Amino acid sequence: MTTEITLENIGAPNVPYFTPIQDPPPGTPLSLIKRKITQSNGEITEFPPLFTPLKIRDTILPNRIVVSPMCTYSAQDGMLTDWHLVHLGQFALRGVGLIIIEATAVTAEGRISPNDSGLWKDEQIAPLKRIVDFVHSQGVKIGIQLAHAGRKASTATPYILSKGLLSPEKYGGWPNDVVGPSPIPWDENHAYPKELTVEQIYEIEEAYVAAAKRAEKAGFDIIELHFAHGYLAHEFFSPISNKRTDQYGGSFENRVRYGLETTKKVREVWSKDKPLFVRISATDWVDNGEGNSWEIKQSVKLSELLKDLGVDLIDVSSGGNTPEQKLHPMTAYQVSFAEEIKKNANINTGAVGLIRDPKLANNIVSSGYADLVFLARSFLLDGSWAIKAAEELGVLIRTPTQYHYAIEKFLIRDA
């Protein structure tokens, strides 16, 4: 089994500088490495599922490995910089199937910290487009995660104040403008949020719409809506943080209303041929009686509703909505949630959370637990994780033309 590769030195189109066209794109499985593909039941003759393509709408990913959104708190006034170009661009050279840019606020007040990525004004399009254009020049797909931090906004950059202490005004914070579904702070070190009016809820929904239109102008392939980790949508979902008595509080249907309205509006303006993902927290990790927190059963039901609105994949994380959570992170501890949502809501899912072993990642896909595997810290530890994972699983994958000859010779020298 092999995939043909063209190594003509032809320039990539629509790029204002010369960079060779990557055909097929990096991350595409090319051939099996013979010395790696024997098992007790005989020779492997097919690519491992982790290195098979996935088509969602008109977007084809060459493999199932995703660079997960990673907040780096390195923007100024929401603008990404050359640092982000290098940080994200490196993954485009390392065989991943998809890159997703970190949580990008749809309003200035919706940032987690003063140094978050933003897309609330047109001036923020160009720095993002520069990154998108580079990633596309390498034949790789890229998405963006749109977010609003809700009651967890205006906090200090965690690598400066690790406990998420309230950012004082003199450090660029906005504690008096933090909002949430109800006036309940996340903890004593966070701002006391103002309860959103219905009119303000509509305004935030429209801010998502405007950001989605800007994402289209920047050329993104995928949008992911960040409805997890105790940020605004998750705050609405959970009875722990939502004590409203109007149409946005109380029953399950009311608590998910804001998230569904936002999703519907974004889907209506986002290109029909482009995928829409949603990241959710499957559970609050709080055992205080059924129906008193956000739980996996509700996540399954929400996922069904999101699918009906045109969402293509649920990126399944967990926690983040309360300091009372009983969360004990361990290898692949959230995969079972992705499996349950995939099975019961009949929708594509992404698995996240302390996944470092390539064989484990491959098993997640091969067993049908999830369709994509999202990795963050694994890529911070090793930007070439996908290349090394392919080698371990017995596959030679396409890497950039400038690297491929050397990598190919290195990997198959003992074949």
- What per-residue confidence (pLDDT) applies to 40? 46
Phi, psi dihedral angles at 314 (to 5 degrees): -105, 120
Question: Does residue 14 sit within a domain?
Answer: no
Longest CA span, the chain: 68
CATH code where residue 282 lies? 3.20.20.70
Specify whether the CB–CB gap between 336 and 296 falls below 8 A. Answer: no
Question: pTM value?
Answer: 0.94
Catalytic residue among 171, 208, 231, 403: 231
Residue 214 structure tokens: 């800007």
- What per-residue confidence (pLDDT) applies to 4? 56
pLDDT digits (tens, 9 = 90+) for 32-41: 875 444 444 4
Taking residues 145-156, what's their average pLDDT? 96
pLDDT: which is higher, 56 or 168: 56
Taking residues 66-95, what's their average pLDDT? 97
pLDDT at 289 over 90: no
Total domains, the chain: 1
Specify whether the CB–CB gap between 44 and 32 falls below 8 A. Answer: yes
For residue 231, indicate whether it is catalytic: yes
- What per-residue confidence (pLDDT) applies to 15? 86
pLDDT digits (tens, 9 = 90+) for 112-128: 999 999 999 999 999 99
Could you tell me the pLDDT band of residue 166, with boundaries at 50, 70 and 90? confident
* Arithmetic mean of pLDDT over the chain: 92
Worst-scoring range by mean pLDDT, 246-250, 286-290, 372-376? 286-290
pLDDT at 411 over 80: no
Q: Which of 157-161, 192-196, 330-334 has the highest mean pLDDT?
A: 192-196
pLDDT digits (tens, 9 = 90+) for 43-66: 556 899 999 999 999 999 999 999
- What per-residue confidence (pLDDT) applies to 16? 87
pLDDT digits (tens, 9 = 90+) for 238-251: 999 999 999 999 99
Could you tell me the pLDDT band of residue 161, with boundaries at 50, 70 and 90? low
Worst-scoring range by mean pLDDT, 145-149, 255-259, 289-293? 289-293
- What per-residue confidence (pLDDT) applies to 158? 81
Q: Please, what is the Cα angle at 105 between 262 and 102, to 5 degrees?
A: 105
Specify whether the CB–CB gap between 104 and 120 falls below 8 A. Answer: no
Q: Which of 12-26, 166-180, 255-269, 326-340 has the highest mean pLDDT?
A: 255-269
Taking residues 230-258, what's their average pLDDT? 98
Could you tell me the pLDDT band of residue 2, with boundaries at 50, 70 and 90? low
- Rounded Cα distance between 181 and 183, Å, is 7
- Rounded Cα distance between 353 and 39, Å, is 29
- Rounded Cα distance between 242 and 293, Å, is 10
pLDDT at 23 over 90: no
- Domain coverage including residue 332: 29-412
Integer Rg of the chain from CA:
21
In three state form, how does the secondary structure of the chain look?
CECCCCCCCCECCCCCCCCECCCCCCCCEEEECHHHCEECCEECCCCCHHHCCEEECCEEECCCEEECCCCCCCCECCECCHHHHHHHHHHHCCCCCEEEEEEEECCHHHCCCCCCEECCCHHHHHHHHHHHHHHHHCCCEEEEEEECCHHHCCECCCCCCCCCCECCHHHCCCHHHCEECCCCCCCCCCCCCEECCHHHHHHHHHHHHHHHHHHHHHCCCEEEEEECCCCHHHHHHCCCCCCCCCCCCCCHHHHCHHHHHHHHHHHHHCCCCCCEEEEEECCCCCCCCCCCCCCHHHHHHHHHHHHHCCCCEEEEECCCCCCCCCCCCCCCCCHHHHHHHHHHHCCEEEECCCCCCHHHHHHHHHCCCCCEEEECHHHHHCCCHHHHHHHHCCEEECCCHHHHHHHHHHHHCCC
Question: Does residue 5 sit within a domain?
Answer: no
- What per-residue confidence (pLDDT) applies to 145? 99
Question: Does residue 24 sit within a domain?
Answer: no
Question: Does residue 136 sit within a domain?
Answer: yes
Question: Does residue 10 sit within a domain?
Answer: no
- What per-residue confidence (pLDDT) applies to 37? 47
Q: Which of 100, 22, 20, 25 is nearest to 61 (CA)?
A: 25
Could you tell me the pLDDT band of residue 260, with boundaries at 50, 70 and 90? very high
Taking residues 395-401, what's their average pLDDT? 91
